[in-house]
Structure 1
Amino acid sequence: MSRIIVFGGHGRIALLLAPLLLARGDEVTSVIRNPDHVAEVEKTGARALVSDVETLGTAELAEIIRGHDAVVWSAGAGGGSAERTYAVDRDAAIRTMDAAVDAGTKRYVMVSWIGSKADHGVPEDADFFPYADAKWAADEHLRGTELDGTILGPGTLTFDEPTGRIVLDPEGKGEVSRADVAAVIAETLSVPSTFGRTIRFGNGADDTAVPIVDALSA
């Protein structure tokens, strides 16, 4: 059994992830900003923790993380202002990494996006640029820590039914269901060979996709 803390616990992926973790015997703490979401989060079996990561410092975050075996960052500003995107997707994410180091929680899984690269190609005047820039900065910070980190880069998210199968480094936008992203996170947490890796994936075609467990152990 592992104790997992999930930041962004009311997100669609996190709501799908919690039952997967609980089904295998893990304990899940889901960090959420809005107290109105407590009931929905707790229906998954997770423990809801109301806390605004945008305003908490590293020391406060370390207190929240301490005692957990792994951190999953699945939070985000969800668009809107560039200022808030940087505040959440970059700055708050980085603080949780530093806090995990301080708390002695070595395992850290970052849910990023398939195009998070230094040469992501998003023009600076594009609305999407702050997100692309913020995620790249957060991913790079994780790579520079002493954490056992994994960066997951799913393609364009869909509401399709889960397939249980993925393709690594797919061409194009690599569409993938949110349910399969949740399954990839769950499997990643239990596969030490994913430490230090950046894993970009999509669902792919039926004849190219492989079971998630096989893809991650490759």
Structure 2
Amino acid sequence: MAAHRVLLLGGNGKVARLLTPMLLQRSWEVASIIRSPDQVAELQQIGAQTNHKGKLDVLVRSIEDVKSEAQAKTLIDEVKPDYVVWSAGAAGKGAPERTEAIDRDAACHFIRASVATPSITKFILISFNSCRYEKMSWVTEEHWQEYLKTTRNPLNRYYEAKIVADKVLWEEGKKRKDFAAVSLRPGILTMEPVGGVALGKYPRVAGTTSRPSLAFRPGYPRYAALLGSHPTFHNFRRFGRVRMRLLLIAQDRVAALEQQLDQIDEQEDRQLFLGCMRRDKNVERQQVLSDLKAALAEYDDMLEKCRTVVSLPASRGRDVQNLRKWVDGTACLDRQESSYLEHENDLINPVKSLEKSTAYTESFVEECIFWLETLMHKSLLSCHSCYGSAFGPDDYFDEDTKFIGAYSGNYAVRRGISHDPIVLHPSEGI
């Protein structure tokens, strides 16, 4: 894979801090833009702690002071990136003018300047899940009004700034066929472990999204992060059948050598050799004993390991079901390589099981949640693309635009429920 140079705007943000080492590990070059010289040493330390062949440049610049497309173009020309990631923002904090200057005006300037730069082929905007002019057709009016009341209205100035940037990204992205404009619209960001993502039209807007889920790339990086986020996801094959098969082979090898030793002893014509090991000159017997020692050690080792594995508790059906739904929903793993989850009777969890009362309560609550989710929307985990609107009526987007609603977060109730709406244009993704 060719190395890319990424302009990371807002490099000191939590999402950017998670993303930076991942890009460096891919041997990419990262130009991280921050506003304070006090942040330089800490960011450089993040780069130094990463085992990589990439290059990290930390530049101190004030994005808030970018007042025109020309000024944005000056920074782009200085860095010379081919990808741009917008992770900057006032997040509604400080004076209203600051939110408008950064989240709206500066973002729009960098979007336009990036589209006007032929060498830049991708712009990723970390946006806001409320960036819509109108209710989506698949969301109920009751839920939409509740969401406006509890989430968007309190952040209305932030919304007004982000919606403008999203629309500019959509409009500018259509100007070039070789340009991928990506609006990543998570819910309220948390530092919870990465969770599952399911694709499709999701009937709710509110939710939380872990910052790590925005950083780990689809595939094994994201799947491994999910497994590491909670012990209930630590489900692996016991391989009971093949383990017994290999144990039987090892046992038979010891038995065959034992039989061979008995035959040698029976045919021995010198009683002295049988009565004194120090004077035993039978080379064949010595070789069999040596082979027997190695075979028996291997057998004992396999037997002990088998005892450990066999005694591990079986995976709970609900935990396996959660993983299977995540894999089916994200489609980020090869089907053949994720098929191990289909061997439910052969799956184990090496982590100490939960107390019975806790496990029962958790299972009951999860069952209620899944029942309600199924009742509300049968296609929760369907993996498909659909044409829809991010800003208004369903026909607002043209046919080159794809909307993907993503349900993100661990399915278990202890991690909560969230989702990540994502807008891609053209159909190329991150």
CA offsets, 1:108-154, max 9 Å, x none? 0000011211127747x944111111101100001111342010011
1:134 aligns with 2:161: yes
Q: What is the CA–CA distance in structure 2 between the aligned matches of 1:3 and 1:135, rounded to whole Å? A: 26
1:65 aligns with 2:270: no
Alpha-carbon distance change, 127 to 20 in structure 1, aligned in 2, over 3 angstroms? same
In structure 1, the partner of 2:111 is 97
Alpha-carbon distance change, 129 to 184 in structure 1, aligned in 2, over 3 angstroms? farther
In structure 1, the partner of 2:88 is 75
In structure 2, the partner of 1:190 is none
In structure 1, the partner of 2:298 is none
In structure 2, the partner of 1:86 is 100
Alignment of 1:15-30 (within 5 A): 15-30=17-32
CA offsets, 1:74-94, max 9 Å, x none? 100132222111111000000
Displacement of 1:159 after TM fit?
1.1
Displacement of 1:205 after TM fit?
4.2
SS where residue 47 of structure 1 aligns? strand
Q: What is the CA–CA distance in structure 2 between the aligned matches of 1:81 and 1:184, rounded to whole Å? A: 35
Q: Contact 2:130–2:205 at 8 Å: present in 1 too?
A: no
Alpha-carbon distance change, 92 to 126 in structure 1, aligned in 2, over 3 angstroms? same
Q: What is the CA–CA distance in structure 1 between the aligned matches of 2:126 and 2:402, rounded to whole Å? A: 12
Displacement of 1:64 after TM fit?
2.0
One-letter identity of the residue aligned with 2:73: A
Displacement of 1:7 after TM fit?
0.5
One-letter identity of the residue aligned with 1:13: V
Displacement of 1:97 after TM fit?
0.9
| Identity over aligned pairs, percent | 33
Alignment of 1:109-148 (within 5 A): 109-119=124-134, 122=148, 126-145=153-172, 146=175, 147-148=179-180
Over aligned residues, Cα RMSD in angstroms? 2.9
Displacement of 1:24 after TM fit?
1.2
Alpha-carbon distance change, 10 to 41 in structure 1, aligned in 2, over 3 angstroms? same
1:108 aligns with 2:123: yes
One-letter identity of the residue aligned with 2:198: V
Of 157, 161, 164, the residue aligned with 2:189 is 157
One-letter identity of the residue aligned with 1:133: E
Displacement of 1:162 after TM fit?
2.5
One-letter identity of the residue aligned with 2:86: W
One-letter identity of the residue aligned with 1:21: L
SS where residue 15 of structure 2 aligns? helix
In structure 2, the partner of 1:203 is 408
Displacement of 1:173 after TM fit?
2.0
Q: What is the CA–CA distance in structure 1 between the aligned matches of 2:43 and 2:404, rounded to whole Å? A: 27
In structure 1, the partner of 2:335 is none
SS where residue 180 of structure 1 aligns? helix
* Structure index of larger Rg: 2
Alpha-carbon distance change, 205 to 159 in structure 1, aligned in 2, over 3 angstroms? closer
1:173 aligns with 2:206: yes
Higher normalized strand content (fraction of residues): 1
Instruction: Count matched residues.
Output: 202
Which is further off, 99-108 or 134-143?
Answer: 99-108
1:50 aligns with 2:60: yes
Q: Contact 1:58–1:95 at 8 Å: present in 2 too?
A: yes
Q: What is the CA–CA distance in structure 2 between the aligned matches of 1:156 and 1:83, rounded to whole Å? A: 22
Higher normalized helix content (fraction of residues): 2
Identify unmatched segments of 5+ residues in structure 2.
48-55, 136-144, 222-384, 386-399, 419-427
Q: Contact 2:7–2:85 at 8 Å: present in 1 too?
A: yes
One-letter identity of the residue aligned with 2:58: A
In structure 2, the partner of 1:10 is 12
SS where residue 64 of structure 2 aligns? coil
Displacement of 1:203 after TM fit?
2.0
SS where residue 32 of structure 2 aligns? strand
Q: Contact 2:129–2:205 at 8 Å: present in 1 too?
A: no
Q: Using structure 1 for the length normalisation, give the TM-score.
A: 0.81
Q: Contact 1:174–1:201 at 8 Å: present in 2 too?
A: no
SS where residue 97 of structure 1 aligns? helix
Q: What is the CA–CA distance in structure 2 between the aligned matches of 1:200 and 1:135, rounded to whole Å? A: 18
Q: Using structure 2 for the length normalisation, give the TM-score.
A: 0.43
